Amino acid sequence: METKRNSTLALWLPTIWYAIAASRAVGQWLNLLGYEVTTGVDYLEGSPIDRVVFSTLILLGVVILFRRRIDWRKIARGNASILTLFAYMLFSALWSDFSEVSIKRWIRAGGDFVMVLVVLTEPNPVEAISALLRRCFYLHLPLSIILIKYFRTIGVGWTDTGAEMWMGVTTHKNVLGELCMVSGVFFLWNMTRKRMNKSTIIDLLYLFMTLWLLTGSDTSRSNTGLFMFAAGAAMLLYASFAKANPRHIRRHLLKGAFLIALLYLILQASAGVATGKSPLSFIIETSGRDSTLTGRTDLWNDVFDIANRHPIFGVGYGSFWIGDKANNLWERHIWKPSSAHNGYLDVYVELGVVGLFLLLLIIIISFRNIATTFELDFEYGRLRLALFFAILLHNITESSFLRGASNLWFIFLLVAVTVPALSKPLNNSL
């Protein structure tokens, strides 16, 4: 009997895309190897070499998808909210002060959607996801450790205060934290979804690498990445207890959200009386960080004031954080932020209330689809839920929504996009 392959050669295309998105741009790697490449210091022009690479990958991805016999109407209906958001992102270029930049960034963000469809239309989508992540993490994690320990001019950077921070294959400690957050959840999921065997030892080894990179030194630790890994791991554990009654998991999650909100309100009242501080501020200060989250709350106030000038439709997708061409935030924040360090606020400033509403709609529909997945493929549902939950929390203090060719935007789409049963068998040659 002919055995159906778990994945095709086409899976290498999104693997290459994600390997770049989760580390550094191609132009940056070439410069590190001694080749003089223009990496796009000008925010309006971008990097020519990266543009060629990503455009080629997107074009090949589109060709592969059209060669597969896919019921596009079902895919469009299943992901109507996501496609509506993409359409609105493109439409917002009409009122952007940098329309050309908006369109370029829209194409790159849409490239993630193309790559995700290539993965999810593989013969075995769950194993395709596993293979893609495993291939990238098998390279990124040990290479990060090597760069940090032996090639420190590449793997280690320094903050504005002169403190050391581990970067590994990425460009910042927080970006390395994002990589490790996803890899930690993945390897933990992979270990617990099957019986103990030789591959479990490999998964455990890479999980240790992940934790070592996450903890780092005192100045290198990405607290956001560490906390979000813990949140994802907790969600994996919770889902395991619900395996006996997967149909009830949606109800359990809603109850859990209600209890968390109720507990927060109780803590809010009690902490306010006892210390005069909110529970969030108390927890943050207890963890050794200042209550402004390293200047984030001050930045949020400034960005929110600017966003309120265009509250309905925003300033246009991808046209706000263009160096300091549109605003004077760099004058007020010496660390020169390139995002609001809050994904929801970034969506608001660029796409307004309309964009936030569409994002909320995607989150609600994705949650419903993930809950349904538990009844069809329990382990796949566990992975989707853990990563989805971690990314939603991550965007409270960092920003990854709508950021094309980036680690967490790719992962968000990977767990949010739903591909119904294909109407015809796939062409397994691609």
pLDDT value of position 405: 83
Residue 3 lies in a domain: no
Q: With contact defined as beta carbons under 8 Å apart, do 406 and 400 qualify? A: yes
Tell me what the mean pLDDT of segment 270-292 comes to.
50
Kindly list the distances between the CA atom of residue 203 and the CA atoms of 197, 207, 324, in Å, as whole numbers in the listed order.
Answer: 10, 6, 43
- Per-residue pLDDT at 326 exceeds 50: no
- Per-residue pLDDT at 45 exceeds 70: no
Tokens of 317: 């997708």
Tell me what the mean pLDDT of segment 375-404 comes to.
90
Residue 110 lies in a domain: yes
Helix axes 407-416, 12-21, angle to 10 degrees: 140
Question: Domain limits at 204?
Answer: 9-416
- Per-residue pLDDT at 181 exceeds 70: yes
Our CA angle for 369, 130, 87, nearest 5°, is: 45
Tokens of 347: 């969506």
Residue 422 lies in a domain: no
Where b means 16+ CB within 10 Å and e means fewer, 314-341 reads bbbbbbbbbeeeebebeeeeeeebebbb
Tokens 């994690």 — which residue?
Answer: 141
Polymer length of the chain: 430
Nearest to 211 by CA among 187, 194, 236: 187
Q: How far apart are CA 33 and CA 309, in angstroms?
A: 45
pLDDT value of position 248: 65
Q: With contact defined as beta carbons under 8 Å apart, do 118 and 13 qualify? A: yes
Tokens of 165: 């921070």
Mean pLDDT of the chain: 82
Residue 271 lies in a domain: yes
Tokens of 265: 């309100």
Q: How far apart are the first and last CA of the chain?
A: 21
Q: How many domains does the chain have?
A: 1
Question: Which of 114-128, 274-288, 307-321, 335-349 holds the top average pLDDT?
Answer: 114-128
pLDDT value of position 296: 73
Residue 385 lies in a domain: yes
Q: With contact defined as beta carbons under 8 Å apart, do 169 and 147 qualify? A: yes
Name the 3-class secondary structure at 252: helix
Kindly list the distances between the CA atom of residue 325 and the CA atoms of 17, 51, 97, 109, 427, in Å, as whole numbers in the listed order.
Answer: 29, 22, 10, 22, 48
Residue 423 lies in a domain: no
- Per-residue pLDDT at 51 exceeds 80: yes
Tell me what the mean pLDDT of segment 366-392 comes to.
90
Kindly list the distances between the CA atom of residue 142 and the CA atoms of 201, 211, 329, in Å, as whole numbers in the listed order.
Answer: 16, 12, 37
- Per-residue pLDDT at 109 exceeds 70: yes
Q: With contact defined as beta carbons under 8 Å apart, do 414 and 117 qualify? A: no
Q: How far apart are CA 57 and CA 392, in angstroms?
A: 28
Tell me what the mean pLDDT of segment 66-70 comes to.
88
Residue 44 lies in a domain: yes
Tell me what the mean pLDDT of segment 98-126 comes to.
93
